[in-house]
């Protein structure tokens, strides 16, 4: 049987909801169910005309493939510290207010890619809201339940919350776009910079009943597919299609470049292989943005990439239209590669190095 967690107080705005933990946390209701850059750059919206008013500075995209889980209690931080790749202690500092991380299996392979949002302490203890792929939400809850043991932490799925991405409609070369303004901050749970890359804008978490256009100034709604086109154009993975559970390796998936891992925090599940690979300095494959010569609808998961001479060059992960992500051998990153569909249709693809990668990574991936 599920249960309801109710609270009492109303919340107020203070520095984009920094005071939320003292106020809104106690009013919030959660329903718990049964546990169950070099190269091609095309990060623009090819369907901007569908967004309406061209004077709007931002586009907001509903992300139904993302879900929210809430952890609350005095043991929340130590509980998460042993499960995720990043250092939860950093969320107790004034910045950052959002953090990216992976949760790994004992073999050091990615199970879940998550974004954590930290709330200040309330009467019920510190709270962390975790954004995950909606298709693995139940598996994540079971994972938490296995490791919870006697720790004082309550774990609840929050079906009443929705996740939105907010992106500037115009690219600002060499600059960080200004943060969107909230006309009614008390109606937003979080509006925080996406911790993975500046090019990903901001994350907005709202009650399902709240329309983002009612609280964001100078904003228009966009098609969710355009959000995915943007992600694939800049080479940023998200969810189980891009990061298949039990298959993807965090360093090959550019977790370091997305500020998603700490190598000084101590032990966590899957740390040994990850730390050893990092300290050897050898990562022979990277998840990279690719452009296909033609859209292919029937590519198998993990379809093999080959060089023009027929040698293995990596695996394709996912994409939209001609844009996608592939795990590419860095030795072949400059070559024109091929991939076959289920019906033996062959298309070529070319990888590029994202602008948001560190400079040393850009050079090492194309040497």
> In the predicted model, what is the mean pLDDT of the chain?
85
pLDDT at 299 over 60: yes
Contact 216, 91 (CB under 8 A): no
pLDDT for 94 beyond 50: yes
Per-residue confidence at 10, pLDDT binned at 50, 70, 90?
very low
Q: What is the pTM of this model?
A: 0.84
- Is 68 in the same domain as 148? yes
Note the pLDDT of residue 27: 42
Mean pLDDT value across residues 147-152? 93
Residue with tokens 């939860």: 88
The verdict on 104 and 218 lying in the same domain is yes
| Residue 118, phi then psi, degrees to nearest 5 | -100, 135
Q: Is 152 part of any domain?
A: yes
* Same-domain status, 218 and 360: no
Note whether residue 52 is domain-resident. no
The CATH number of residue 152's host domain is 3.30.70.1400
Range with top average pLDDT, 161-175, 257-271, 350-364: 257-271
The pLDDT of residue 170? 83
Starting at the edge strand found earlier in the chain, the sheet holding 110-122 runs 98-104, 110-122, 125-133, 66-72, 154-157
| Residue 2 lies inside a defined structural domain of this protein | no
pLDDT of residue 350 exceeding 50, the answer is yes
- 109 & 207 share domain: yes
Does 215 lie in the same domain as 120? Answer: yes
Question: Are 329 and 230 contained in the same domain?
Answer: no
Predicted confidence at residue 361, as pLDDT, reads: 84
**Distance between CA 320 and CA 343 in Å, rounded?**
19
- Residue 36, in any domain of the structure: no
Residues 163 and 301 reside in one and the same domain = no
| Segment 161-178, tens digit of pLDDT | 999 999 998 875 556 678
Q: Are residues 221 and 359 in the same domain?
A: no
Position 83 in a domain? yes
Tell me whether residue 312 is in a domain: yes
Q: Which two tokens stand for residue 190?
A: 């979080």
Give the residue-averaged pLDDT of 270-299.
Answer: 92
Instruction: Report yes or no on 25 lying in a domain.
Output: no
- What gap in Å lies between CA 274 and CA 1, rounded to an integer? 39
* Each residue's pLDDT tens digit, 29-65: 454 443 333 333 333 333 333 444 567 899 999 999 9
Residues 214 and 312 in one domain: no
If asked whether residues 221 and 293 sit together in one domain, one would say no
Residues 230 and 291 in one domain: no
220 and 74 within one domain: yes
Contact 44, 155 (CB under 8 A): no
Q: What is the mean pLDDT of residues 240-254?
A: 97
Whether residue 199 is contained in a domain is answered as yes
Output the pLDDT for position 270: 96
Q: What is the mean pLDDT of residues 67-78?
A: 95
Residue 167 vs residues 56, 227, 239, 307: alpha-carbon distances, Å: 11, 9, 19, 36
pLDDT digits (tens, 9 = 90+) for 196-216: 999 999 999 999 999 999 999
118-138 burial, b at 16+ Cβ within 10 Å, e below that, comes to bbbebeebbbbbbbbbbebbe
- Residue 3 banded pLDDT, cuts 50, 70, 90: very low
pLDDT tens digits along 268-277:
999 999 999 9
pLDDT one-digit tens code per residue, 109-128: 999 999 999 986 666 678 99
Per-residue confidence band for 105, with pLDDT thresholds at 50, 70 and 90: very high
Q: Is the pLDDT of residue 99 over 60?
A: yes
Mean pLDDT for 132-153 is: 96
Look at residue 16 and give its three-state secondary structure. coil
pLDDT value of residue 38: 36
Last residue of a domain, one of 198, 218, 234: 234
How many domains does the structure of the chain reveal?
2
Instruction: List the domain range (segments joined by +) for residue 292.
Output: 284-365
Q: Tell me, what's the pLDDT at 34?
A: 36
């Amino acid at each position: 049987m599920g249960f309801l967690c109710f609270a009492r107080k109303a919340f107020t705005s203070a520095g984009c909801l920094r005071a939320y933990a003292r106020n809104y946390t106690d009013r919030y209701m959660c329903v718990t169910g049964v546990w169950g850059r070099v190269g091609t750059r095309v990060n623009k919206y090819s369907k901007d005309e569908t967004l309406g008013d061209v004077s709007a500075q931002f586009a907001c995209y509903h992300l139904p493939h993302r879900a929210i889980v809430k952890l609350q209690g005095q043991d929340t931080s130590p509980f998460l510290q042993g499960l995720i790749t990043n250092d939860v202690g950093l969320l107790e500092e004034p910045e950052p207010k959002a953090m990216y991380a992976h949760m790994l299996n004992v073999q050091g392979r990615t199970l879940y890619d998550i974004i954590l949002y930290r709330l200040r302490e309330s009467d019920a203890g510190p709270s962390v809201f975790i954004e995950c792929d909606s298709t693995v939400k139940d598996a994540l809850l079971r994972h938490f339940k296995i490791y919870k043991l006697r720790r004082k932490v309550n774990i609840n799925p929050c079906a009443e919350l929705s996740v939105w991405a907010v992106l500037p409609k115009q690219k600002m070369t060499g600059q960080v776009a200004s943060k969107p303004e909230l006309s009614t901050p008390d109606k937003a749970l979080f509006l925080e910079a996406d911790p993975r890359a500046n090019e990903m804008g901001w994350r907005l978490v709202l009650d399902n009943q709240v329309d983002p256009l009612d609280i964001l100034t100078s904003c228009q709604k966009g098609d969710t597919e355009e959000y995915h086109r943007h992600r694939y154009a800049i080479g940023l993975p998200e969810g189980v299609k891009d990061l298949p559970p039990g298959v993807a390796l965090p360093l090959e998936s550019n977790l370091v470049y997305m500020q998603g891992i700490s190598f000084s925090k101590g032990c966590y599940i899957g740390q040994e292989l990850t730390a050893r690979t990092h300290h050897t300095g050898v990562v022979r494959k990277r998840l990279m943005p690719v452009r296909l010569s033609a859209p292919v609808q029937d590519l198998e998961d993990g379809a093999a990439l080959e060089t023009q001479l027929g040698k293995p060059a990596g695996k394709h992960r996912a994409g939209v239209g001609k844009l996608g992500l592939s795990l590419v051998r860095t030795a072949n990153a400059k070559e024109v590669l091929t991939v076959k569909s289920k019906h033996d249709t062959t298309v070529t693809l070319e990888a590029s190095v994202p602008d948001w990668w560190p400079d040393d990574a850009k050079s090492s991936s194309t040497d």
